[in-house]
């Protein structure tokens, strides 16, 4: 069906608004953490893939880091492997780690690669074990009750944190037509595999790549104030103040902590955006209004 004049004018207006953003971000690297509803809903999957392909086509360098907690949980249930969580982190024994690698490094990673390729891109899937991309160390979890004089150290198995990122591997891909898609599995000095929180991986990759933006897709509209209004255009100091006064609490703290660390360590801005909105990445990057919370060091 041919475009009406009204449709054509709308398209021209959108392109005109996007042009200064395109000019500003050409040649820059953007890290996108992909998860939540955007990963499950078919329409959102394809809008996400098209956004990533469009970025690459206009000269931006996207790097995707993905999660997969629900998919891991489902396969563990199917295999009758019981899950335990401590401080929101899955206790990962050897059997569970095998499932994590199968789901994240296999099924989920390849599905995302296929989505991007089917929408006109050229993606390659990686885990942190490929080219020693993500060197990891075991995460120490402390538990303390009022009765304890010193905290108890709890072993939660193959759960890790990033100790270093092999930038050469990413530079090689970013400087080509390839879009890297990273599963958050790290490798220890002894060759052991570690399950790492995808937000933390995305944040560390953004830091070492000195990315223009870190984008975290979520299942909420963004950071809310105590009245339920979306907060945006925040400085790192303002975010620290919101944590101190209890506006930001609970499950949002790790995500916010990752975004804060990135911005304080050289990333120009971090964005917590609503992945339930079609083309949310494009709307956040290329429009004046955006669709979430922006955090930056610029006052």
State percent of the chain over pLDDT 90. 46
Q: What is the pLDDT of residue 41?
A: 82
- State the CB neighbour count (10 A cutoff) for residue 292: 24
Q: What is the mean pLDDT of residues 174-182?
A: 93
Higher pLDDT, 211 or 5: 211
Q: pLDDT digit string (tens) for 192-222?
A: 999 999 999 999 999 999 999 999 998 878 7
Higher-confidence residue: 19 or 31? Answer: 31
Give this prediction's pTM. Answer: 0.90
pLDDT of the residue at 298? 67
Measured between alpha carbons, how far is 52 from 50 in angstroms, rounded to an integer?
5
Distance CA 117, CA 220 (A): 28
What CA–CA distance (Å, rounded) separates 250 from 270? 19
Taking 90 as the threshold, does the pLDDT of residue 72 lie above it?
no
Q: Looking at the chain, how many residues does it have?
A: 299
167's tokens? 């930038």
C-alpha R_g of the chain: 20
What is the CATH code of the structural domain delimited by 29-219+275-280? 3.40.1160.10
| Dist. CA 255–CA 223, nearest whole Å | 11
CA 47, 178, 266: angle at the middle one, nearest 5?
85
Give the integer Cα–Cα distance in Å for 117 and 109. 12
Please determine, for residue 146, whether its predicted confidence score (pLDDT) is greater than 70: no
Per-domain boundaries in the chain: 29-219+275-280
Instruction: Find out whether 186 and 136 touch, Cβ atoms under 8 Å.
Output: yes
Confidence class for position 115, pLDDT limits 50, 70, 90: very high
Q: Which residue has the tokens 């005109």?
A: 16
- Per-residue exposure over 90-111, b if at least 16 CB sit within 10 Å of its own CB, e if not: bbbeeebbebbbebbbeebbeb
Secondary-structure breakdown of the chain: helix, strand, coil percentages, each rounded to the nearest 5: 40, 25, 35
> Residue 261 in 3-state DSSP?
helix
């Amino acid at each position: 069906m041919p475009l009406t004049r009204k449709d054509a004018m709308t398209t021209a207006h959108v392109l005109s608004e996007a042009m200064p953003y395109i000019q500003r971000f050409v040649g820059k690297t953007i890290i996108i953490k992909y998860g939540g509803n955007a990963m499950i809903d078919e329409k959102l999957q394809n809008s996400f893939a098209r956004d990533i392909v469009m970025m690459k086509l206009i000269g931006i360098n996207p790097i995707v880091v993905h999660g997969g907690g629900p998919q891991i949980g489902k396969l563990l249930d199917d295999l009758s492997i019981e899950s335990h969580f401590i401080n929101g982190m899955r206790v990962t024994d050897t059997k569970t780690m095998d499932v994590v690698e199968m789901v994240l490094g296999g099924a989920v990673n390849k599905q995302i690669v296929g989505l991007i390729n089917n929408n006109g891109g050229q993606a390659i899937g990686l885990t942190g074990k490929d080219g020693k991309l993500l060197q990891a160390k075991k995460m120490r979890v402390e538990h303390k009750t009022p009765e304890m004089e010193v905290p108890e150290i709890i072993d939660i198995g193959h759960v890790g944190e990033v100790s270093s990122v092999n930038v050469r591997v990413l530079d090689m891909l970013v400087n080509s037509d390839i879009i890297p898609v990273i599963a958050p599995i790290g490798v220890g000095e002894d060759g052991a595999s570690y399950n790492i929180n995808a937000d933390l991986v995305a944040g560390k990759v953004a830091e070492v790549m000195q990315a223009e933006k870190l984008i975290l897709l979520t299942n909420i509209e963004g950071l809310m104030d105590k009245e339920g209004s979306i907060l945006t255009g925040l400085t790192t100091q303002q975010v620290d103040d919101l944590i101190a006064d209890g506006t930001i609490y609970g499950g949002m703290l790790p995500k916010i902590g990752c975004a804060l660390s990135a911005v304080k360590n050289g990333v120009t801005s971090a964005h917590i955006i609503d992945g339930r909105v079609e083309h949310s990445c494009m709307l956040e990057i290329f429009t004046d209004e955006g669709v979430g919370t922006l955090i930056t060091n610029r006052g």
